[in-house]
Structure 1
């Protein structure tokens, strides 16, 4: 049976709060405020999802992303091949956006989340890890930029019965990468970076 511990204070009135084991939320009996505390198992869960996304990242960029059929001619390309084609046709701006949003930003975000999950029990480099976490939050809004761009391109290029676009295996893999990355980011609780009692409660 878990032992009742008084180790947290209410964020409003400062009253000592009883926390049991890995409880996430505690209601203050004095002022009635719902207080949220660190999910002590969250770094491990975040790490697992980040690792899964990293594993899927490679096939997402190797397998064909989309098959476009125009006037009966089919053209299948990976994300990188699409970037190269656009740059060769002079669309440097679109190629750069797709390259950043589809390859660079997801990889950087995953590597940071993986590092944060891997160093969850460490008390060193806390300021660095805090900055890395804020970086992940800042670049997270760009995660779906390439999907919106792809939707616009397909809408422009689709000409009724003369053109048809189909997602390839790479697109489904990339969708999973985005989903697992979002879950990894959602499960990571940044308060564990500075919580000295994490090791005792995990």
Structure 2
């Protein structure tokens, strides 16, 4: 049976890649700066897992009020209603706008849950030094990154929902506290994805100081 040699990486040969311009520089003790752009060099993103986990926990906590508190307050001539994201989905479903109801449910409820679950799985698997399914986990992170590029669609969908309700009912629509919590969830999940260093997936099983 042929044993393949370990893959040669920049870290194995003592090089550090700049996060800003991509230039490779020799690694040495102490503070390092990129000779090309002057950016601070790190072997791995400082405190990557702890930062990602903290941002993720904050997003999970805010996800509850984002869905339980009203995202919009509708005031008409006869009554005043407080609508959550879920009630908006039900509203469009019952009025025949099934496609819009599915769109709001997907971007505002389903995708944030899947994104937070995927990031949590990646942090836990790296923290425990799992060497299995590295390639699959890298694919999962790329999917999370791709979804993160469209994260602001979540906020846009909520704004679209408010506009359509105003159009159909000719009422005054104002943003509720749930909208602020939902926007915070979107920002926090984006920051959590940015803080996670995917190179930790390919590191050795022992924990590194940068974790």
Q: TM-score, normalised by structure 2?
A: 0.76
Counterpart residue number, 1:79:
85
Other-structure match for 2:29 = 20
- Gaps (5+ residues) in structure 1? 1-5
Instruction: Quote the Cα distance in structure 2 between the aligned partners of 1:123 and 1:197.
Output: 7
- Shift in Å, 1:163: 3.0
Query: In the TM superposition, what are the counterparts of 1:36-47 in structure 2 within 5 Å?
Result: 37-47=43-53
1:52 equivalent to 2:58? Answer yes
The CA distance in 1 between the partners of 2:162 and 2:23, in whole Å, is: 55
TM-score, normalised relative to structure 1: 0.79
RMSD, matched Cα: 2.9
8 Å Cα contact 2:16-2:43 kept in structure 1: no
Q: How big is the shift at 1:26? A: 4.0
In the other structure, the counterpart of 1:3 is none
Partner of 1:174: 182
Q: For the structure 1 residues 49 and 13, does the alpha-carbon distance in structure 2 shift closer, same or farther, using more than 3 Å as the test?
A: closer
1:36 positional shift: 6.1
Q: 1:123 to 1:7 in 2, by over 3 A?
A: farther
Aligned-residue offset at 1:153: 4.4
* Pair 1:164 & 2:181 matched: no
- Conserved 8 A contact 1:97-1:146: no
Higher strand share: 1
